Amino acid sequence: MTVSVPETAAKPQKGFKLDFKTAGPLIALILLVILGYSLNPAFLNEGNITNLLTRSAFIGIIAVGATFVITAGGIDLSVGSMAAFIAGMMIIIMNSAVSSMGASVWTVLLGVGCSLILGIGAGYINGFLTTKAKIEAFIVTLGTMGIYRSLVTYFADGGTLSLNSGAREIYRPVYYDSFLRVPYPVWVFILVAVIGWILMNRTAFGRYCMAIGSNEQVARYSAIKVDRVRTWTYILQGLCVSLATIIYVPRLGSASSATGVLWELEAIAAVIIGGTMLKGGYGRIGGTVIGALILTAIGNILNLTDIISNYLNGAVQGVIIVAAVYLQRGSFKRAVRKKAE
C-alpha cells in the first residue's frame, strides 16, 4: 500500500536530481582544483599533476575493489595490512630469489606473481570466512587486519624489510617510468578503473553485487549464488590490493609495519565520497576514482600552501568526507521534499 501518484509526473526535475547526484563528486573535484590553482598556480604544473595522479593510484586501485565489496553489502578493513603483508612477502621472496639465482627480470616477475597469488588468496580467505563461516565482514576483516599487520612486523623483526638493490634497479621503472608521459601506476589505475566500471555496470556480476547489497533475500530468491558473488568481491578486492602493492614496492623498495597504515579507511572514504552507499546496493566506480583523486588532492594542496598546516591533512579529509555524504543525502532529501509538496 503506497501512495500511488498518477502516471504523469515532472520528469526534468528528476533528471536534474540524478545529475546532481552523479556529478556531485566531480563538481567537488573541479572546485578543489580551482581552489588549488588559485592558492598556488604550481598546482597545475605537469609535474605536480603527474605526482598527484601517481599518488592517488594506490588508494584508487584499492578503492575500486572496495567499491565491489561495499556495493555487495560487505566491508574490508584488512586492505592496508594486507598491502603491507604482501609487500613484505614480495621483498622476502625476491631477496631470497636474488641470493639463489641473481637479480633479473625474472626475480621481479616472481615477486609480482607471488603478490597476485597472495592477494587473491587473502581475498578468498576473507570471502570464505564471511560467506561460509557466516561471520560478519567487519569482524572477519578486523581479525585479518590484525593478523597481516603483525605478520609483517614479525617478518621485518620490528624494523624494515628492504629489497635487494640489484632487484630494485630492475623493478624501479614500474613506479618511476612513464608511457606517453603518463606514469605506469596511473596506467594501472586507469586500467583497473575501466575494467571495474565495465564489471559493475555492464556485466551480470555488477548487477548481482547491487542486488545482494540491496536485499540479500531477494537475491537468493532470484537464483543468484549469493555466497559465490560475495566471495568474488573479496577476491577482486585482494587482487586490487596486490596490484596496488606491485606498483608501491618499487617506490621505496621497502616494507615495514608502517606500510599501508590507514589505507583501508582512505579507500572506504574514497568509495563513500564517490557516492557509493556504505550499506550497499548502489555502487559507482567513476565516483570512487574521483573520491580517490579528491583525497589525494587535499593533501597535495596542503603541501603546496601554508595556509593550513600539513599536519591537519587528516582533519581536512575528515571534514570533506562528512560534508560529501551530507550533501549527497541533503540533495536527496530536498528532492523528496520537493516532490511531497
Partner 1 sequence: MSDAVSTSVPAILSANRISKSFGDIPVLFSIDFDIRPGEVHAIIGENGAGKSTLIKILSGIEQPTSGSITYDGKTVVLPPNGQAAAMGIVVIHQELLLAEHLSVADSIFLGRELRSGPFLQLKEMREKTREILAALDVNIDPDARINTLSVADKQMVEIAKAISRDARVIIMDEPTAVLSVAETKTFFEQIRRLTAKGVAVIFISHKLDEIMELADRVTVLRDGQLIATVGTENLTPDSIAQMMVGRELSNLYPPKHEPDVDAEVLLSVRGLSAPGISDISFDLRRGEILGFAGLIGSGRTAVAEAVVGLTRKTAGTVTVRGAPADYTHVAQSLDAGLAYMTKDRKGRGLLLNAGLQPNLTLLTLKKHMKYGFLDGRSEEQALDRAVRRFDVRARDPSVAVGKLSGGNQQKLMLGKTMESDPDIVIMDEPTRGIDVGTKQQIYHIIAALAAEGKAIIVISSEMQEVIGLSHRVVVMRQGRMAGVLEGAEISEAEIMRYAAGIKQGGENDRLSA
The residue assigned the cell 612513464 is 178
Q: How far apart are CA 63 and CA 61, in angstroms?
A: 5
CB 18 to partner 1: min, Å: 8
Q: Pick from 132, 225, 329, 333: which binds partner 1 (CB under 8 A)?
A: 225
DSSP codes joined into one string, 178-196:
EETTEEHHHHHHHHHHHHH
CB 220 to partner 1: min, Å: 7
The reply on whether position 2 binds partner 1 by CB under 8 A is yes
The count of other CB atoms within 10 Å of the CB of residue 325 is 16
Tell me if 162 sits within 8 A of 94, measured CB to CB. Answer: no
Strands (E), the chain: 160-162, 178-179, 182-183, 254-256
Kindly determine how many residues on this chain lie close enough to bind partner 1 according to the rule CB under 8 A: 37
CB 324 to partner 1: min, Å: 20
Q: Pick from 17, 172, 207, 251: which binds partner 1 (CB under 8 A)?
A: 207
Q: Pick from 135, 218, 308, 312: which binds partner 1 (CB under 8 A)?
A: 218
Question: Which cell goes with 86?
Answer: 604482501
The reply on whether position 4 binds partner 1 by CB under 8 A is yes
Beta bridge partners of 162: 254
End-to-end Cα spacing for the chain: 20
Q: Pick from 133, 180, 307, 340: which binds partner 1 (CB under 8 A)?
A: 340
CB 282 to partner 1: min, Å: 7
The reply on whether position 134 binds partner 1 by CB under 8 A is no
Q: Pick from 47, 157, 221, 311: which binds partner 1 (CB under 8 A)?
A: 221
Nearer to partner 1, 6 or 158 (CB): 6
Q: Pick from 63, 87, 114, 210: which binds partner 1 (CB under 8 A)?
A: 210
The reply on whether position 334 binds partner 1 by CB under 8 A is no
CB 235 to partner 1: min, Å: 18
Residue in 248, 95, 64 with CA at minimum distance from that of residue 174: 248
**Footprint of partner 1 on residues 140-199 (CB under 8 A)?**
198
Taking 3-state DSSP, the helix, strand and coil percentages for the chain, each rounded to the nearest 5, stand at 75, 5, 20
| Residue 255, φ and ψ in degrees, nearest 5 | -145, 145
> In the complex, which residues of this chain contact partner 1 (CB under 8 A)?
1-11, 14, 198, 202-204, 207-208, 210-211, 214-215, 217-225, 281-282, 338-341
